[in-house]
């Protein structure tokens, strides 16, 4: 609990600076992932294994279900949902944990 308004303002500033840092790190991570995706696509690789960290990164096509709302007129339950469900293929980066020996 803050004892004074000054402590409260200091707390708010700390929170804001951490939020800015998190946003910066997210942006940096996205740039690195895009670079990694481009590398793997260019080299036509689906998996890369790091010998130093033991981390495996896979870049594979994954089928993701998407619902087309324009075709779905009224709610008729799961049968109607499955009828209008359109599978969409998406390329996704996955980080796999190292296998322990």
Q: Is the pLDDT of residue 84 over 60?
A: yes
Structure tokens, 64: 């993701």
CA distances from 10 to 16, 37, 42, 57, 97 (A): 10, 40, 48, 41, 39
Which pLDDT score is estimated for 11?
87
End-to-end CA distance of the chain: 48
Cα gap 33→26, rounded to integer Å? 10
**Torsions phi, psi of 57, nearest 5?**
-110, 125
Q: Are 53 and 39 in contact (CB under 8 A)?
A: no
Average pLDDT over residues 16-31: 94
Q: What is the pTM of this model?
A: 0.56
Mean pLDDT of the chain: 82
């Amino acid at each position: 609990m803050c004892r004074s308004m000054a402590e409260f303002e200091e707390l708010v500033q700390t929170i804001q600076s951490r939020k800015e840092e998190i946003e910066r790190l997210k942006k940096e991570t996205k740039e690195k992932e895009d670079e990694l995706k481009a590398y793997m696509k260019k080299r036509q690789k689906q998996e890369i294994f790091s010998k130093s960290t033991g981390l495996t990164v896979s870049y594979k096509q994954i089928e993701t279900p998407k619902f087309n709302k324009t075709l779905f007129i009224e709610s008729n339950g799961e049968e109607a949902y499955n009828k209008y469900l359109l599978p969409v293929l998406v390329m996704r980066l996955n980080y796999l944990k190292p296998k322990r020996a």
